[in-house]
Amino acid sequence: MTTAETARALDVDGLLAAARDKTGLNDYGDDWFVEPLSVLTSALVVEAKLSELGLDLTRRRLVASLADRLRLKQLQAEHPEILDEEVVVAAEICGLPRTGSTLLHRLLASSPEVTSTLSWETSYPLPFPDESPDAELRKKKARDRYEMFLEMAPDFGDIHTIEWDGPEEDVILLDRTFTSMSYDSFYWVPTYGLWLREFDQAPAYRDLKEWLQVLQWQSPDRDGKPWILKSPHHLTAVDTVLDTFPGCKIVMTHRSPTKAVPSYASMVGAISSQYSNDVDPKAVGPYWRDRFVTALQEYAVVRAARPDRFVDVTFQDTVSDPVGTATKVMGELGLPADREALEAYMERNQEQRHGSHTYTAEDFGLTEAGLEQDFAFYEKELSS
């Protein structure tokens, strides 16, 4: 695709109008999100080298996110009681990617005493008109979307197991704010990622709370249950997470970045190749190395100031004793652990397909020695 064609397709005013046309709605509420959307689309035009399919998928994705913003405001206007929902977040799990956080999240979320965002509802968080109480149509669309994704990226399931009806990262809700690590994971948009490091994400997290209110309002069985959430994205806004959700603790999953960073670079390469035919793996590695160095340095500052809001979990503990580790974490969160539910999840988990993928740091423009040096400050913390 030419730059001019991409620019026309991703024109911000055109996207805003397309979402209005799609929904028949006009009220976006506070338009703070236009700035991150503008930064993102500029980077997509200049840097992402989108294929024809990639551009089509991306435009559809952005218009759908804008449409959801319109529908959210409409639903809140029709049901103002949604904004009275009390959201209690017990934990945000947010170590580096590839540190055992997905397994820990799904383990903790298996407890009947807590709740979490489910994959199908992060894709389709708002009720369809005249839908059945079990939201069967939304679930079917999410299942179809999941199957299409795996057709486009057949190796992805070997890197990260997806459960269309299981717990999923709440960052997918944040995607609708256009301030999300999803975007520089799916696309080569380094200027967007650099901008995001400096942006005040408080409005995005206010939106996240509203999305959680909507999900809670739709599901009476969630009443009184604290949320267990997860995404590496939250490392970019640790202070904001803690300010937005009083009482929330950060569950920090730890693993040597010499393993975690190349593993994530491999995952990013698999995802971004859906949208561009010109992905440079040797650029992807250094970008995420630098991104995570900054994130861990900023995390350390917040942790030093608010040490009582953190719980630590090592990758080794999670994989060697998942049920025992989850039980310990629940205790540190002040929540009961249902050992039977934890063991039942592990039995299901072992039955799922878990492939393997082979890569080296050098595949992504990195070296193990270089990573050891870059993350020496963090490795020292891990060993202390």
Tell me what pLDDT residue 159 has: 56
Tell me what pLDDT residue 156 has: 59
114: left (phi over 0), alpha (psi -120 to 50) or beta: beta
Tell me what pLDDT residue 29 has: 96
Tell me what pLDDT residue 151 has: 76
Place of tokens 């913390």: 381
Tell me what pLDDT residue 195 has: 97
Q: Which of 77, 62, 16 is nearest to 210 (CA)?
A: 77
Place of tokens 């559809």: 60
Tell me what pLDDT residue 154 has: 66
Q: Which of 57, 13, 48 is nearest to 31 (CA)?
A: 13
Give the SS3 label for residue 350.
Answer: helix
Contact 298, 380 (CB under 8 A): no
Structure tokens at 189: 């948009």
Per run of 10 residues, the mean pLDDT along the chain (length 384 residues) is: 92 98 97 98 98 96 98 98 98 93 95 96 94 90 84 62 86 98 97 96 98 96 95 96 97 94 93 94 97 96 96 96 97 96 91 67 96 94 75
What does residue 93 show for φ and ψ, rounded to 5 degrees? -85, 120
Dmax over Cα atoms in the chain, in whole Å? 58
Contact 232, 96 (CB under 8 A): yes
For the full predicted model, state whether its pTM sits above 0.85. yes
